[in-house]
Structures are given as structure tokens and as C-alpha cells.
Amino acid sequence: MRLPRRVPWASLAELEQLCACIYTDEADLAAKVAAIHRLAAWRAITALPHALDSVHALLAAIVQDSAQPPAPAALAVRHAYAAAVIRLVNGLVDPLQAGAFARPITAIAQQLGLPAWLVELRHAATHEDLPSLELLREAARQAMAWLLHNYFLPTLHPVAAPAQEAAPLRPLAPLLVVYKGTMKLVTRDVSMAAQYRPRIVALLRDTERWLAECRVAASGAAGEGSSWHTAAALATEGDAKELWALDRLCDCLFEKGVLVPLSKKKRLYTSDPFLPSKASISYWEPLLRHVQGSHADLPYVLCRRIVAVLLDAVDERSDPSYYMYLASWVSWAVKTWSDNSPAYANLKKDTLTILMKGLGYNPSPVLKQSPTFTLLRCLTSGQEEFEAVTALLLRPPSQIPKTVWAPSDLEIMEARQAQLLSLSSIRSSDAAPPSPPISVDSPAAAISIPGWRLLQDQKDWRSCPIGVYVN
């Protein structure tokens, strides 16, 4: 659940007033000074969001520059501008460095829609000669314009704010192709493992960086607003972004030629136990284990997505070897993580729950011969409680009891209803004085309806929630 967010303004009208003071008239220094004072007052109440903190620093530099200081003081103005730009860029980029390996700042800025030259200016102001005053003034103007379109307008008008198109994700398929080719070389000749180890490590790092890019793009894909809110809400929405990124990784892994070999002749899984081929496991196990080490939800997401693919398959007979081989990876994941790690003790149970809910009661005979049921039999093998449910699902149609209603059944139900209503009207009569509790042995309690009996209020009746049986 998303936690409430504390803001310094009492209402959006105050924030709108602040925005008007800043952007209505660029030459109105008095309004900008009033905005600086308002921000300083808000800072005394609570911590400012990074956007407003950056606005405060940029406004202070602009007002200081507009006072037309003598030439010796121009250096202080340049430092003020540079510090404000550095704080703006760092505050946007640092929260998105969530992966195990650092990503280029330019790549993160591109996903946020931040002008690339502001990143270059930040680098120059930090590590090289201080930029000129004219260049810093232009940077401050563009930074204030970016904050207007990426923070103030989406916050003041979240529905009317135009949705910015997120930068498309770079394809992961080329990286996976290179990784698979490298692992083939290492698997076939173990002596080359040391030679290719740096390349494998680099490919694993690239995979982590790709997942970090997915986390940044998660908000835009989910329609949650501007890129600014992607950075600001990362801490509270990290779980949702993490799952979205892992879902995209699974989409790439499910392509033919990755987890499932492209050639049908190579889709040779083992039946007992139900696992992919040793070659496939040797190729992809290092990658899956590496991602799982940094993203603990990968086993659950992987099994859930594969089961969803199996259940949503329109016609598994079109390429049965693909679905069967994909199902074997679920068995591998359960065997690898659920059986060996206490942290994933519920992985098999959760997978079976999704499977059985998706199959439903009395599935079609064609579905019973599908990879989905093959996976179900494999996961329930050796567990009596699950095997009983599987046997129930696999019953032939001839063994399923059929209920055929006859006209006499309705007459019996109407007679029982009349007897119950008559008994209720006798007990709830307002004209008659309250009668003593009816004994179970009394004639009034002798209800000639199979399955019904009269309960005494003090002895047999117990209140309980609906669906809960109290013995």
C-alpha cells in the first residue's frame, strides 16, 4: 500500500500561488523574492521535495545575479548557479541508481527527459573549469522550464497534464544472444572459462543495468504521471516497479531461442525429473541465479508468468514442444529454489494455487493432455493433499455426478418452506405474550423436514461469521 506523502503546502492553491509568483513575469524580482521567502518558511515546517529545493536554489542564484553586482562578485554568482544545477541533476539521478551496478548518468537523464547538456554542464562544473556566466544563466532558465513542465503542472493538474512518452527500452535480445553464445563456448570447453569470465561478468552487469532502466520506465508504462514522479516516488513504489521490470525480463526470456531452444530437435527435456536439458540449464542458470541474487522476487515472477503463458495459450497443439519445454523451467525453478531455500518455501504452493485456479473445475479432455497438466502432475507428485485435488480434476466425465432436477423436487422445497414460515410466524407473533423457550422434546420442535432441527437460544445456538462452522 502506498503510504501518505507529507507536503509543505496546506492546499494546492498555495502551490499554485507559488508557481504564479515564479513564472508569471520573468522580470518581476519582487515576486521571486516572495517565492524565496515562502519556500524558506515551508522549509522550516518540513523537508522540501527535491523539486522545490532545487527551485529555491535556482531562484536565489537568479535574484543574486539580477542585483547587478560588481565584477569581483560575479564569481560568487557563477558558483551559486553551478551548485544549483549540480544539486538538481544529482537529486534526480541518484534515487534511480537502484541496481547492483552504476548506470551512466546520461542514460538516466535521457529516460527522465532531462536535457543532456545539463548533465554535461554538471560534469564540467564538478570536475573541470567553471562554466561561463552566460552558459550558467541559460542552464538555469532551462532547468526552471523543465521543473515547470515536469513538477508544477503535473502536481497542480495531474489529470490534464499531458503524458510524456517514455524513452523506449533498449532491446535485451542482442545481449542475450551474446550471452548464450559465450556460455556455449565455455560449456563446450571448460579450459576457456577463465578467458571468457570478464565478458560474462560484463554481460551480467548489462542485464542489471537493463533492469534498472526498466524500473525508471515503469511509471510511464503504468500511466502514473511524469518522469519527475518516477524519481520522487521510487522509494514508496519500489516493489511495483521491481515486479514490472522482472515481468519485462521474463518476456524477453520466453522468446524462442532463449530459455526455449529455437530448434525443436533441441527441446529434449527429461521426464523424471521433469527438467530442461542439461545444456539449457548450464547456459541460463548463471544468469537466473545472478538476477535472483539482486532481485529476490524473480522465482515467483518467473513461475507466475510461465503459468500464465500456459493457461492463456489458445492452441498448445500448434507448438506443443515450446509449451512443454517452458513448463519444465517451472519445475526447475521449484526444485532449485523452493526445495533448497527456506525463503522460497511457498513457491510451489503459490504456483499450484495459480495453476488450479486457472484450470478450474472439470476442464476439457483436450486440456488434460496439455503441458499445463503435465506440470501439475509433476508439482503434486509425492504430496497426498495435492494429488487428491489433481485426481479430482483428472476424473473422466463418466465419474462426475450429474444433478437432474425433477418437478417433484420443487414441490418438496415449497412444502419445506411453508413449514418453516409457519413455525416462524408462530414464534414471532406480536399479539401473543412472549412464550417460554421451546424444548427440543416439545411437539413444536418436531420439524418433519430432513436436515432441519430447532435450536435452543441458550444451548445450541452460537453466532459466528458466515462460512465458519462452529462445532
d(CA 302, CA 249): 9
> What local confidence, expressed as pLDDT, does residue 320 receive?
83
The pLDDT-based confidence of 364 (bands split at 50, 70, 90) is low
Please give the residue that has the higher pLDDT: either 153 or 367. 153
How would residue 270 be classed by pLDDT, with cut points 50, 70 and 90? confident
Regarding whether 265 and 150 lie in a shared domain, the answer is no
Q: Which three cell numbers stand for residue 243?
A: 515486479
On whether residue 369 sits in a domain, the answer given is yes
Cis peptide before 365 (omega within 30 of 0): no
Which one, of 398, 393, 369, 367, lies nearest residue 380 by Cα?
Answer: 393
Average pLDDT over residues 57-79: 78
Do 147 and 283 have their domain in common?
Answer: no
- The reply to whether 22 falls in a domain is yes
Q: Indicate if the pLDDT at residue 370 is higher than 80.
A: no
Q: What is the pLDDT of residue 378?
A: 84
Residue 276 has what pLDDT? 92
- pLDDT on residue 300: 92
How many domains are there within the chain?
A: 2
At residue 228, the pLDDT reads 34
Assigned domain for 346 exists: yes
If you average pLDDT over residues 370-393, what whole number do you get?
75
Rounded distance, CA 175 to CA 213, Å?
15
Cell digits for 239?
516493489
Is the model more confident about 432 or about 272?
Answer: 272
* 147 and 20 in a common domain: yes
Of 156, 175, 204, the residue that ends a domain is: 156
Q: What are phi and psi of 324, to 5 degrees?
A: -65, -40
C-alpha cell read off for 410 = 420443487
Distance, first Cα to last Cα, the chain: 37
CA–CA distance, 295 with 293 (Å, rounded to integer):
6
Query: Among 163-172, 404-413, 441-450, which is the least confidently predicted range?
Result: 441-450
Q: Which residues contact 253 (CB under 8 A, 6 or more apart)?
A: 176, 259, 284, 302
Least confident of 71-80, 137-146, 331-340: 71-80
Q: What is the pLDDT of residue 134?
A: 86
pLDDT at 329 over 90: yes
- The kind and range of the H/E element at 30 are helix 29-45
Whether 440 has a pLDDT exceeding 50, the answer reads no
- pLDDT of res. 413: 85
pLDDT band at 445, cuts 50/70/90? very low
Q: Are 263 and 145 in the same domain? A: no
Instruction: Give the mean pLDDT of 248-257.
Output: 91
Average pLDDT of the chain, as a whole number? 77
Give whichever of 39-53, 308-322, 432-446, 449-463 has the largest mean pLDDT: 39-53
Residue 177: its pLDDT value, please?
A: 92
Indicate whether 18 and 151 sit together in one domain.
yes
pLDDT of 235: 34
Confidence at 281, pLDDT banded by 50, 70, 90: very high
Residue 206 has pLDDT above 60, yes or no: yes
Per the listing, cell 420442535 goes with 445
**What pLDDT score was predicted for residue 222?**
41
Q: At what angle do helices 347-359 and 298-312 cross, to 10 degrees?
A: 20
Distance CA 37, CA 35 (A): 5
Is residue 201 a part of any domain in this protein?
no
What angle in degrees, to the nearest 10, is found between the helix axes of 133-147 and 116-127? 130
What domain range is 319 assigned to? 259-396
For 149-170, the pLDDT digits (tens) are: 888 888 887 764 444 555 567 8
Residue 29 lies in a domain: yes
pLDDT score recorded for residue 400: 54
Residues 34 and 151 in one domain: yes
Using CA of residue 240, residue 257, residue 315, residue 333, what is the dihedral sign?
A: negative
C-alpha cell at 24: 508569471
Residue 232 in this model has a pLDDT that exceeds 80: no
Which residue would you say has higher pLDDT here, 392 or 165? Answer: 392
pLDDT at residue 186 greater than cutoff 80:
yes
- Is 59 among the domain residues? yes
Question: Distance from CA of residue 117 to its chain's centroid?
Answer: 33
> Burial letters for 33-48: b for 16+ Cβ neighbours within 10 Å, e otherwise?
eebbebbeebeeeeeb
Helices H / strands E in the chain, number of each: 19, 0
Q: Which of 131, 156, 181 is the last residue of a domain?
A: 156
- What's the mean pLDDT in 33-61? 88
Higher pLDDT, 393 or 363: 393
338 contact partners, CB below 8 Å, separation of at least 6 = 299, 344, 345, 346, 347, 348
**101, 129, 156 — which closes off a domain?**
156
Q: 58 with 113: CB under 8 angstroms?
A: no
Q: Is residue 250 part of a domain?
A: no
Q: Under a CB-based contact definition with an 8 Å cutoff, are residues 151 and 7 in contact?
A: no
Residue predicted with more confidence, 466 or 348: 348
Instruction: Give me Rg for the CA atoms of the chain.
Output: 34
Asked if residue 449 has pLDDT above 50, the reply is: yes
Q: What is the distance between the alpha carbons of residues 284 and 36, in angstroms, rounded to a whole number?
A: 56
pTM of the model: 0.58
Query: Is 206 inside a domain boundary?
Result: no
What is the distance between the alpha carbons of residues 307 and 404, in angstroms, rounded to a whole number? Answer: 36
